[in-house]
Amino acid sequence: MAVGPRMKSVIRVKAGLVLAAAAILTGWLAVALPVRAAPESPSEAPADALVTKIVYLSKRYPEPPPLSLLEKILDDEGVQGARLAINEINHTGRFLKQHFEIVEVVAKRDEDVLNLVRPILAEGPALILADLGPADLLALSDLPEAKTSVIFNTRSSRDELRQQDCRANIFHLMPNWAMRADALAQYLVWKKWRRWFVVYGTTPPDLEYLEAIRRAAKKFGAKIVDERVYEFDAGSRRTDSGHQQIQTQMPLLTQGASDHDVVFVADAGEAFGDYLMFRTYEPRPVVGSQGLQAVAWHRAYEQYAGTQLQNRFEKLAGRIMTERDYTAWLGARVIGEVVTRTGKNAAEDVRARILESDFEVAGFKGIGQSFRTWDHQMRQPMLISGPRALVSISPQEGFLHERFLTDTLGFDQPETQCKFEQ
């Protein structure tokens, strides 16, 4: 049957509509598909596969409840990040006849974590994600049977672990206090907020962060115009009297301070820092451990496909990804990167590879992340974030370094006190 010009026009219009609909559908799928979580990785190793065991080692330390009711009490922080990474690297590994397994070891509050890990070390050098406090981390690294293991610090920010108390078998994924203070200092200096009023707590981590803040001020040309210690009980935030006590207490604490641009708070244990916001005597931004913070990861981060990682994690864990989740995820990804590219999974091979000058691992921050040879701290950009939104990323523009811009954060090689035992 002959088709007239009018009918041809109708056919072309209909074909165009179909193609347009297909293009819209394809575009929707391209946006929607990455949001879906990857399926579970195979739980058993394929035949003839190279099997790599990663030990996740942690302990249930006593921790105060969060200040805000919006923050839930977590009992799986850290390990969920490691589980996600295992799923991800197994999807790549199955094509290369490689398989990764996680061995989860979590000590009770009153239990000696070393007794739990000794049977594992008796089998030989191990690859360990250590979600441990400083004392337990050093005790683990000093075990004779752990000397040739590779231990990734996914929890502690203590500067001394990268300085005079450094260990050759420990690699630090969690940013230290110096990196956090330097990252914030760069942003504050860029904003020309150079006068800092410091309020700090009395716990050891508070005092560690205080020293890092003092160091950052000197390093970047800022000035600490006043320092005050918080030594009081903030009261109960869940009662009327508690709120009233806080509302009265914080202006008194900050009244009469020398002229300042920001209140820089060192409250690592989250005992009072959140109470400073909107309650200071002078209307000033709060930065440091609360308010505007420098962190390795944050729930609001979405740059460089960060949303993809956030969504995959939430699908797996049913909650947001915390900083400890991210560092545990990153540690497993470091191991996966080495094994996938070299085909070797012995601890000595992993250690040698991650110390090579061309080693990098992707951490969803726009650049490859690598380890400093002088203190084994991972160099990485730091997120400058408020409670609900990303504000900036450090290193800031204009802060230069001869090799890595990220080496402007924390202890650079000329100032390190770390001396590894040979």
Residue pLDDT, tens place only, 91-130? 989 899 999 999 999 999 999 999 999 999 999 999 999 9
Averaged pLDDT for residues 220-238: 81
CATH superfamily of 178-295: Response regulator (3.40.50.2300)
Q: Quick check: 175 pLDDT over 90?
A: yes
pLDDT of 96 reads: 92
Averaged pLDDT for residues 299-314: 96
Contact 291, 276 (CB under 8 A): yes
Residue with tokens 């962060």: 209
Q: Token digits for 403? A: 């090799």
- Paired strand residues for 196: 224, 262
Sorting pLDDT into bands at 50, 70 and 90, what band is 232?
confident
| Angle, CA 397 vertex, CA 394 and CA 398 arms, to 5° | 125
Residue with tokens 């996966």: 336
3-state SS, residue 389: coil
pLDDT of 150 reads: 98
Percent of the chain surpassing pLDDT 70: 87
- Residue of 176, 172, 167 whose CA lies nearest to 215: 176
Report the distance separating Cα 66 and Cα 89, nearest Å: 33
More confident residue, 4 or 130: 130
Report the distance separating Cα 100 and Cα 188, nearest Å: 43
Question: Domain map of the chain by residue range?
Answer: 50-175+298-380, 178-295
More confident residue, 21 or 413: 413
Averaged pLDDT score across all residues of the chain: 89
pLDDT of 244 reads: 63
Percent of the chain surpassing pLDDT 90: 79
Report the distance separating Cα 408 and Cα 187, nearest Å: 12
Q: Token digits for 386? A: 């408020």
Sorting pLDDT into bands at 50, 70 and 90, what band is 72?
confident
Sorting pLDDT into bands at 50, 70 and 90, what band is 28?
very low
Spatial neighbors of 414 by CB under 8 A, at least 6 apart, are none
Q: What is the fold of 50-175+298-380? A: Rossmann fold (3.40.50)
Contact 386, 291 (CB under 8 A): yes
Sorting pLDDT into bands at 50, 70 and 90, what band is 24?
very low
Render pLDDT for 369-395 as a digit per residue (tens, 0 to 9): 999 999 999 999 999 999 999 999 999
